[in-house]
A = this chain, B = another copy of it.
Amino acid sequence: MSSRDAPCASRRGFLQRAGLLAAVAGSGLAPAQLAEARREEPAPVSAIEPFFGTYQSGILTPAQHQSYFAAFDLDTRKRDDVIALLRNWTAASAHMTQDNNTDAPAADPDVSCDSVETLGLSPSRLTLTFGFGAGLFVKDGEDRYRVATSRPDALVDMPQFAGDQLVEARSGGDLSVQACADDPQVAFHAIRHLAQLGYGTARLRWGQTGFLPHSPPGETPRNLMGFRDGTGNPSVRDEAAMAKFVFAGNEGPAWMRGGSYVVTRRILIALEHWDRTKVDFQEQTIGRHRATGAPLGRKKESDALELDAADKDGNPVTPINAHVRLAAAASNDGAKILRRPYSFNDGVSYTAERWPPWRQGMEHDAGLFFICYQRDPREGFVKIFSRLSKLDMLNQFSTHTGGGLFACPGGVAPGEFIGEKLFAA
């Protein structure tokens, strides 16, 4: 079934016409009531992130509190279906990120084209970031959409890293969508609505929720290991660093200029085991002090890593296999990536522990949904994680259970659809 037959195809026309009148009609409120409701609860300007721009939003955007990352497989063999899908997704995203009064019975009064669970909510800083997996270019040896020659070299087949336990049902996919918002219902609605628009063309493959704590402004949030996570990140306000490390330039195909490559990893953390270790051992493992986030032996989180520092006996202050040492740019020929991770909690699952007292039973199915953006994964995640996966002391607590690599094209201008330059090529 192609997307043309989907009952919400007419929605595209609505989205292009969308304006205040349609929003009012859809809200079920009279205009006066709507104005009243809006006076009572004005949506702050900061609750709306731009959709159009040089780069896709959701990369440099300060991290929202909630995320839902989804991967889709394409069920169609028609290039035009993919173009129509991306066009519909772009229009819907441009709308949803700006306005939640999306009930549009006028488009087709008989069908629920929007599940409306966000009606009346703020857009909550919703961003939607789209990526293309290897399967868009070639799948089972077939160039379904005549784009195989446009596949970037940087969109590599990911190597199998030491310790990888990637579950097929949580990995890969032809397309990715990262939805981030300050309201979990807004993030989930966005993915659900895109899935609905893609019915018959794109099929959900996997989805992963995530959250961040409501840390005080300016504080680096702590992940579930209790340590601050993101301290060494390059600043998103540093345009030169973003150009150097995050966004693709002229080195690849033209359609990827201004784009970025996202690597995700669902990292299950053995929280029960971690919680029963000594704080000092935790700090040696990470290479930072737990309370402050400062490098070992230093006072402040912002203090520079001094990987050569030694104690009075000449031993390194930061252990040879500490996480920060191995992940540092100085240990990786200057390589940097922009991390944008979320914690996840999927309840409990059966675990057979790999350590004394060899407990077996239900443990937290929780950890870190690692997301990072980079200009070229070969010079970013692949390079850094090749060593980390072999040597990092943290590995005894972490297991990578899923993930993917997707090429996220640059941002779009009004009237353009995500990835249009790929299909125009």
Contact indicator B120/A219 (Cβ below 8 Å)? yes
How distant is the Cα of A213 from the Cα of B121 in the complex, in angstroms?
A: 8
Chain A contacts with B in 90-127, Cβ cutoff 8 A: 103, 105, 109-112, 114-122, 124
How distant is the Cα of A346 from the Cα of B345 in the complex, in angstroms?
A: 9
- Which residues in B have their C-beta under 8 angstroms from that of A226? 112, 114-117, 119
How distant is the Cα of A27 from the Cα of B292 in the complex, in angstroms?
A: 8
How distant is the Cα of A272 from the Cα of B214 in the complex, in angstroms?
A: 32
Q: Is A222 an interface residue (CB 8 A)?
A: yes
Please choose the segment from A137-145, A198-206, A321-329, A393-401 that sits at the chain B interface, where 4 or more of its residues have CB less than 8 A away: A198-206
How distant is the Cα of A223 from the Cα of B289 in the complex, in angstroms?
A: 42
Contact indicator B276/A7 (Cβ below 8 Å)? yes
Known: A217-B41, A278-B112. A362 touches B205 (CB 8 A): yes
| 24 intermolecular pairs with C-beta atoms under 8 Å apart | A28-B289, A28-B291, A66-B184, A103-B290, A110-B279, A111-B279, A114-B226, A115-B224, A115-B225, A115-B274, A117-B213, A117-B225, A120-B216, A185-B211, A185-B214, A185-B224, A192-B364, A195-B364, A196-B276, A205-B348, A207-B348, A207-B364, A208-B347, A209-B345
- Which residues in B have their C-beta under 8 angstroms from that of A275? 112, 115, 192, 196
- The residue of chain B having its C-beta at the shortest distance from the C-beta of A271 within the complex is B192
How distant is the Cα of A116 from the Cα of B292 in the complex, in angstroms?
A: 11
Contact indicator B110/A215 (Cβ below 8 Å)? no
- The number of chain A residues touching the other chain, given as a range, is 35 or more
Q: Is A277 an interface residue (CB 8 A)?
A: yes
Q: Is A280 an interface residue (CB 8 A)?
A: yes
Contact indicator A362/B112 (Cβ below 8 Å)? no
- Which residues in B have their C-beta under 8 angstroms from that of A41? 216-217
- Which residues in B have their C-beta under 8 angstroms from that of A192? 271, 275, 364
- With most chain B CB atoms within 10 A of its CB, the pick from A40, A214, A343, A364 is A214
- Which residues in B have their C-beta under 8 angstroms from that of A272? 195-196, 199
Chain A contacts with B in 214-240, Cβ cutoff 8 A: 214-217, 219, 222-226
Q: Is A406 an interface residue (CB 8 A)?
A: no
Q: Is A363 an interface residue (CB 8 A)?
A: yes
Chain A contacts with B in 49-87, Cβ cutoff 8 A: 66, 68
Smallest CB separation, A277 vs chain B (Å): 6
